[in-house]
């Protein structure tokens, strides 16, 4: 039995538990989530006049703190307890307080009955269980180390080298012998025929290069090293070659995980990278703010630039200049024929500021041109992805003149395409989710049938399961994206066990302790986003134009609202107008706080101004809601709403101008997987208030370099912002202190240089791991393929048939 339940039953609080359960029976809600449980418990303590210590420190309080869900089922209650991160226990509790554990299958059946209580299922549902396929791979034990997969994997691999040196050195030898660039052999040639000979020749090569001047270029050493069996790739100078060979020598003689990581991370095996993001409007101009188009465009363009630059540096350091190596990065996205004035109908577009990074757009196959010729919601794209992957494979092979070395998926659709491509091409697959819809929409899996016409979650959640299990490694921006916090479930953790009634049960959807998970936060583009104090990097004409647009421009096509007093401190936010980004929640918070209105103006940069201009249902609803809030709270004269699409240059300057006015950035999302706008605001010097639900918890250090807010509690949020404003007025230095610490936080932790080095290191190490364990992965991949063809594809075909008539 749970220690938490046992502690209550063994104490005088047993009566309180009975009384609390009695109160639950009179609740309208029969399915309570953690916030609901805490609210009912707070009311219980208030009603029975319990002391504050009972609420926070009693055995019952602790039990309910760790209880994620309570489901009432006729004469009993089901308690889903999460005593620690990545761990779940389920118990049935009856009125007489008898307790029995429930299996995962019993829990899923109960959830099904709750949804289908008037039409219960007959017979069993398909069960999806990925657990057995992870028996082959090593497992992390301590939850604190989840997200540090590569560190664990390096320790595991180096221990294998020690335990079974002959087999693992043979694998390493074969791996090093594989690699070529445009038909030119790298690292080891056929003069070295075995791992034993490799060990001998490494020592000879070290002796040779150690007698050469340390700065002697590789080209002058090349012929002699080739006769010893070593091709280009070890270094660009004698010193660099010696250093790399000594790492290999140490690995052969006395392996350790640091040496393994350092050695594998520097060998040149990655030259061609695909970043996959099919949905949305993907371009470099005129796309931000459109439906389904926001942070991922900024993220991928910055990532592509940084990757190309790092690949170039790595190639030079590896001594490959004589081979005319040209690393190439391709962002694979969708070609939209009716492109609404953007370049989204252009097949190939070079990424600004790069030598060989490109946006490659591949169209969806025709089917119904009313759908495929136009922008399509990310919720509707599913039927086209298999044929899209087939067509994209041909285009990529033509552009690269061969296979890519790494495929990185983005979002649910991009990750599914990455899986299909990597399976066909035999290439290392990396997944980056950014955000899962499953955690954005409450009870989205339980009530998927009711939401299917609008969101098609059956396809999306199936795609997520397939892609995340197929991936060689997964990058998350934060630890909590994987396994949450002590009091909230992580995005990946939400896939561990769930039901989609009438479709399937997931009894083990993902192994959270797998070393495939790695936390690698993104960076911020320092060319566009930098502190407002860097006046030498700013363009005065841009500053004046943006200043006018923010505060005084009267143009009803772009701006709604005229400020009565433009000199008030600006509260600023910039995001898409959708429910999750919650800009309407911020407007309502501002509207409810009269005192805040006396000190500040609210300035929003958000989407369209008119319903008829938007083709997105959710955006249209939010537009109507924002106008209603402005009217209800009489915010005319206190709010500016800019319906503009901005270039990154203008976005950067907006943050800096708000900072010059000693403004505040507020990010009020109901959930934010990471929060690039938070980084952009902080590096610009803006004190930032950001949602406590999601990634901002790991970016911001509360009350040091920013502030957490609960966007569902408008009174509390308004009070926190007002308190900061009043402190700044009382102590003018306070704003500057928080501003300076925000800037320092970004520069120390969130740069693209840090991100890219880590990503490429991971890609090389997992390529080695994939090579040594590929036989053990084949059964998993066959299982995933079976689910794709038996579950995903028939449902995709049904949706495609619906599209034929639109």
123, 273, 439, 477, 765 from 523: Cα distances, Å: 50, 19, 24, 10, 22
| The pLDDT value given to residue 691 | 96
Q: Which residues neighbour 279 within 8 Å (Cβ) at sequence distance 6 or greater?
A: 292, 334, 376, 377, 378, 381, 411, 413, 414
Question: Angle, to 10 degrees, between the axis of helix 457-470 and the axis of helix 448-455?
Answer: 90
Residue 169: pLDDT band with limits 50, 70, 90: confident
Identify whether the C-beta of residue 460 lies closer than 8 Å to the C-beta of residue 382.
yes
Least confident of 92-96, 227-231, 245-249, 626-630: 92-96
Please tell me the predicted confidence (pLDDT) of residue 444: 96
Give the C-alpha separation, 218 to 236, whole Å. 5
Stated length of the chain: 806
Q: How far is CA 299 from the centre of its chain?
A: 11
pLDDT interval class at 166 (50, 70, 90): confident
Condensed to tens digits (0 to 9), the pLDDT of residues 427-486 reads 999 999 988 999 888 899 999 999 999 999 999 999 999 999 999 999 999 999 999 988
Residue 541 three-state SS: helix
CATH 3.30.300.30 fits 145-266, yes or no: no
The per-residue pLDDT for 392 is 98
pLDDT score, position 693: 87
User: How far is residue 107's CA from residue 446's CA, in Å, rounded to a whole number?
Assistant: 13
**Which helix H or strand E contains 170, and what residues bound it?**
helix 165-177
CA atoms within 13 Å, Cβ hemisphere of 215: 0
The structural domains of the chain, with segments of one domain joined by +, span 3-102, 145-266, 273-523, 535-750
> Cα–Cα–Cα angle for 415, 419, 421, nearest 5°?
115
Averaged over 500-509, what is the pLDDT? 96
Give strand pairing partners of 80: 69, 90
**Distance between CA atoms of 684 and 763, rounded to whole angstroms?**
32
The CA distance from 214 to 695, in Å, is 46
Tokens read off for 37: 């449980």
* DSSP code, position 147: T
Residue-by-residue DSSP string for 716-780: HHHHHHHHHHHHHHH-THHHHHHHHHHHHHHHHH-BHHHHHHHHHHHHHHHHHHHHHHHHHHHHH
Check pLDDT > 80 for residue 387: yes
Place of tokens 């509790």: 93
Determine the topology of domain 3-102 in CATH.
Nuclear Transport Factor 2; Chain: A, (3.10.450)
Per-residue confidence (pLDDT) for residue 617, from 0 to 100: 87
Strand-pairing partners, residue 667, are: 690
Q: What is the pLDDT of residue 301?
A: 95
Lowest mean pLDDT among 103-117, 287-301, 512-526, 564-578: 287-301
Mean pLDDT, rounded, for 758-785: 91
- Mean pLDDT (whole number) for 680-705: 94
Across the range 651-670, mean pLDDT stands at: 97
Pick from 230, 227, 132, 119: nearest CA to 173: 230
What is the predicted pLDDT for the residue at 775?
67
Structure confidence at residue 440 (pLDDT): 85
Give me the numbers of helices (H) and strands (E) for the chain, helices first please. 31, 25
Which band of pLDDT confidence, cut at 50, 70 and 90, is reported for residue 254? confident
Q: Which of 465, 440, 511, 467 is nearest to 673 (CA)?
A: 440
How far apart are alpha carbons 213 and 209 in whole angstroms?
Answer: 8
What spatial distance separates the first Cα and last Cα of the chain, rounded to whole Å? 55
Tell me what the mean pLDDT of segment 667-671 comes to. 94
DSSP 790: I
Share above pLDDT 90 across residues of the chain, in percent, rounded to a whole number: 84
Minimum mean pLDDT range among 160-174, 564-578, 659-673: 160-174
What is the b/e burial string over 138-164, where b = at least 16 CB atoms within 10 angstroms of the residue's CB?
bebeebeebbbbbbbbbbbbbebbeee
Among 3.40.50.300, 3.10.50.30, 3.40.50.2000, 3.30.1330.10, what is the CATH number of 273-523? 3.40.50.2000
- Average pLDDT of the chain is 94
List all residues 6 or more positions away from 582 whose beta carbon is below 8 Å from its beta carbon: 668, 669, 670, 691, 711
Query: Do the beta carbons of residue 476 and residue 419 sit within 8 Å?
Result: no
Contact 262, 250 (CB under 8 A): no
- What value does the mean pLDDT take over residues 1-25? 91
Task: Mark residue 279 as left, alpha or beta (left: phi above 0; alpha: psi -120 to 50; beta: remaining).
Answer: beta
Q: Among positive and negative, which fits the CA dihedral 472, 475, 481, 485?
A: positive
Q: What is the mean pLDDT of residues 16-37?
A: 92
Average confidence (pLDDT) over 573-588: 94
The mean pLDDT of 33-55, rounded to a whole number, is: 92
Q: Do domains 273-523 and 535-750 have the same CATH topology?
A: yes
| Of 248, 274, 370, 286, nearest in space to 329 by CA | 274
CA-only gyration radius of the chain, Å: 28
pLDDT for residue 616: 85
CATH code for residues 535-750: 3.40.50.2000
Residues 6 or more apart whose CB falls under 8 angstroms from that of 577 comprise: 583, 584, 606, 607, 608, 619, 622, 623, 626
Please report the pLDDT score of residue 118 as a whole number.
66
Residue 801 has pLDDT above 70, yes or no: yes
pLDDT grade, residue 102 (50/70/90)?
very high
The full DSSP string for 557-616 is: TTEE---S-TTSEEEEEE--SSTTT-HHHHHHHHHH-HHHHHHEEEEEE-S-SSGGG---
CA torsion angle 742 744 748 751 (round to 10): 70
3-state class (DSSP) for residue 463: helix
User: What is the per-residue pLDDT for 1?
Assistant: 63
């Amino acid at each position: 039995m749970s220690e938490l339940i046992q502690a209550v039953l063994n104490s005088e609080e047993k009566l309180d538990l009975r009384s609390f359960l009695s109160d639950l029976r009179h609740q309208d809600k029969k399915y309570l989530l953690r916030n609901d449980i805490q609210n009912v418990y707070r009311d219980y303590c208030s009603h029975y006049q319990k002391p504050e210590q009972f609420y926070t420190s009693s055995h019952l309080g602790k039990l309910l703190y760790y209880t994620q869900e309570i489901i009432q089922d006729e004469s009993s209650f089901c308690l889903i307890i999460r005593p620690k991160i990545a761990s779940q226990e389920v118990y049935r509790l009856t009125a007489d307080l008898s307790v029995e554990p429930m299996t995962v299958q019993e829990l899923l059946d109960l959830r099904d009955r709750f949804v289908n209580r008037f039409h219960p299922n007959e017979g069993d549902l398909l069960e999806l269980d990925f657990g057995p396929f992870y028996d082959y791979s090593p497992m992390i034990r301590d939850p604190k180390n989840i997200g540090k997969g590569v560190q664990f994997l390096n320790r595991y691999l180096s221990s294998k080298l020690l335990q079974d040196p002959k087999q693992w050195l043979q694998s390493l030898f074969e791996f090093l012998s594989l690699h070529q660039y445009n038909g030119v052999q790298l690292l080891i040639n056929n003069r070295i025929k075995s791992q034993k000979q490799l060990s001998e020749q490494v020592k000879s090569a070290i002796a040779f290069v150690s007698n050469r001047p340390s700065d002697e270029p590789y080209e002058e050493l090349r012929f002699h090293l080739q006769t010893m069996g070593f091709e280009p790739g070890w270094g660009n100078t004698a010193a660099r070659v010696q250093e790399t060979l000594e790492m290999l020598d140490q690995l052969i003689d006395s392996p350790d995980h640091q040496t393994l990581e350092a050695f594998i991370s520097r060998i040149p095996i990655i030259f061609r990278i695909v970043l996959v993001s099919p949905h949305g409007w993907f371009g470099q101009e005129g796309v931000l703010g459109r439906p389904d188009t926001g942070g991922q465009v900024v993220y991928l363009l910055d990532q592509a630039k940084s990757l190309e630059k790092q690949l170039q540096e790595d190639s030079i350091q590896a001594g490959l200049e004589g081979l005319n190596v040209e690393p190439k990065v391709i962002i694979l996205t969708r070609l939209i024929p009716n492109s609404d004035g953007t370049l989204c109908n252009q097949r190939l577009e070079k990424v600004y500021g790069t030598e060989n990074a490109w946006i490659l757009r591949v169209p969806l196959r025709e089917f119904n041109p009313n759908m495929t010729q136009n922008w399509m919601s990310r919720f509707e794209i599913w039927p086209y992805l298999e044929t899209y992957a087939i067509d994209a494979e041909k285009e990529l092979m033509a552009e690269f003149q061969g296979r890519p070395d790494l495929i990185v998926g983005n979002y649910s659709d991009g990750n599914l395409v990455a899986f299909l491509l990597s399976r066909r091409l035999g290439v290392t697959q990396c997944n980056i989710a950014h955000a899962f819809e499953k955690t954005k929409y409450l009870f989205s899996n339980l009530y998927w049938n009711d939401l299917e016409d609008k969101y098609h979650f059956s396809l999306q959640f199936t795609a997520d399961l397939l892609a995340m299990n197929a991936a060689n490694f997964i990058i998350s921006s934060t630890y909590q994206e994987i396994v949450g916090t002590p009091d909230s479930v992580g995005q990946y953790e939400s896939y561990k066990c769930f039901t989609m009634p009438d479709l399937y049960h997931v009894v083990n959807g993902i192994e959270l302790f797998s070393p495939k998970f790695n936390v690698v936060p993104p960076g911020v583009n320092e060319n566009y986003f930098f502190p407002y104090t860097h006046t030498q990097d700013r363009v005065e004409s841009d500053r004046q134009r943006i200043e006018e647009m923010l505060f005084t421009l009267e143009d009803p096509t772009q701006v709604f609202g005229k400020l009565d007093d433009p000199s008030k401190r600006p509260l600023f936010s910039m995001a898409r107008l959708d429910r999750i980004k919650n800009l309407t929640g911020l407007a309502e918070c501002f509207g409810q706080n009269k005192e805040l209105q006396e000190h500040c103006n609210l300035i929003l940069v958000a989407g369209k101004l008119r319903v008829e201009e938007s083709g997105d249902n959710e955006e249209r609803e939010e537009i109507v809601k924002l106008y209603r809030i402005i009217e209800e709270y009489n915010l005319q004269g206190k709010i500016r709403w800019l319906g503009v699409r901005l270039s990154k240059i203008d976005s950067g300057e907006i943050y800096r101008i708000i900072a010059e006015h000693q403004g505040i950035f507020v990010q009020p999302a109901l959930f934010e997987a990471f929060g690039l706008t938070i980084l952009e605001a902080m590096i610009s010097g803006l004190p930032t208030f950001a949602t406590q639900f999601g990634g901002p918890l790991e970016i911001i250090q509360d009350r040091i370099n920013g502030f957490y807010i609960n966007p569902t509690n408008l009174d509390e949020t308004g009070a926190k912002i007002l308190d900061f404003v009043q402190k700044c007025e009382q102590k003018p230095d306070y704003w500057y202190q928080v501003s300076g610490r925000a800037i320092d936080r970004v520069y120390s932790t969130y740069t693209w240089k840090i991100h890219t080095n880590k990503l490429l290191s991971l890609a090389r190490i997992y390529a080695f791991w994939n090579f040594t364990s590929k036989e053990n992965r084949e059964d998993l991949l066959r299982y995933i393929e079976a689910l794709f063809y038996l579950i995903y594809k028939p449902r995709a075909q049904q949706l495609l048939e619906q599209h034929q008539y639109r």
